[in-house]
Structure 1
Amino acid sequence: MVDTAAAALLGAAGLHAGFQLTVTTLVYPALARVDGSRWPEAHDRHSRAITPVVGVVYLLLLATGAWALATLPLTAWLVTAVAGAGIALATTAFVAAPLHGRLGRVGPDPSLMRRLLVADRVRCTGALVCLAGAALVCLRP
């Protein structure tokens, strides 16, 4: 039987990975194609729409990760799941969010957009690592 905390972590990791894959494959490429004249409106609309979703997803990921760490045995798979989530969250806080702030002020600067797309791929990798670790926590108690 799978522990409830492990199942919750897997659910949050799956939600996070699905969200992040959508952002990486659809949302950011579309945002990167917006030309300068439409940039302020498009970027502002993107920021307003995605911020609450990011908040909910990350809050669930943090809560279930903390629950799993507090109640499950500390295995390599649990550490992998939490590390993947940590990479995604830290990249958002320390790279992607500041880049979005700068892009909002200066417009679609190509070098800033390239850095944002790289940061986003790092977040996506972290989300997938988290999902794999969480799945293995459930499969290998």
Structure 2
Amino acid sequence: MSAVVAFAVATAWHAGFQLTVTLLVYPVLARRSSEEWRAAHDRHSRTIAPLVGVLYLAVLVTGGLLAASGPDPLGWLALGLTGLALATTALAAAPVHGRLTDRDDVLVARLLVADRWRCAFAVLGAVAATAAVLAGG
């Protein structure tokens, strides 16, 4: 399997995961009351962490292989967009999650905005990676 195909598979998985979180998981979490918040947020964090770890490792490893192979411009675009999704997680979503020990409507709103951005970057990264495969890159 070529590096660009491996990266396209990983980014498709990432985009599907991110769409599920954005469209299903976070809306349910955001509707939790103050009384339910801590237990629901802790359960969410515990259960999603292993999947995030495996998924992000797959994206990073295949992205490293793609970068080392000298991708075409679509491949670089896919790497950049996917990198923005990961950076949005590291710099925006994860720090907000860390502060959400109790329900705070302002922080929940920030989390939802950060999540929408990373979802958009993840989907666009997967589209660019797929286009790179189809272009023969």
Unaligned runs of 5+ in 1: none
Match of residue 79 from structure 2: 82
Aligned partners of 1:33, 1:98: CA distance in 2, in Å?
20
Query: Which ranges of 4 or more aligned residues in structure 1 deviate by more than 2 Å?
Result: none
CA distances 1:14-35 after superposition (whole Å, capped 9, x unpaired)? 1000000000000000000000
Match of residue 96 from structure 2: 99
Structure 1 contact 16–57 (Cα < 8 Å) conserved: yes
Aligned partners of 2:98, 2:91: CA distance in 1, in Å?
11
CA distances 1:68-110 after superposition (whole Å, capped 9, x unpaired)? 1111x43221111111111111111111111001012xx1111
Match of residue 109 from structure 1: 104
Structure 1 contact 80–129 (Cα < 8 Å) conserved: no
Q: Give identity over the alignment, percent.
A: 49
Aligned partners of 2:103, 2:121: CA distance in 1, in Å?
26
Structure 2 contact 75–132 (Cα < 8 Å) conserved: yes
Unaligned runs of 5+ in 2: none
Q: For residue 134 of structure 1, what is the amino acid of its counterpart?
A: A
Structure 2 contact 75–128 (Cα < 8 Å) conserved: yes
TM-score after normalising by structure 1:
0.93
Quick one: which of 36, 41, 44 aligns to 1:43? 41
The total of aligned residue pairs comes to: 136
Matches within 5 A, 1:18-37: 18-37=16-35
Aligned partners of 2:126, 2:116: CA distance in 1, in Å?
15
CA distances 1:16-73 after superposition (whole Å, capped 9, x unpaired)? 00000000000000000000111110000000001111111111001001101111x4
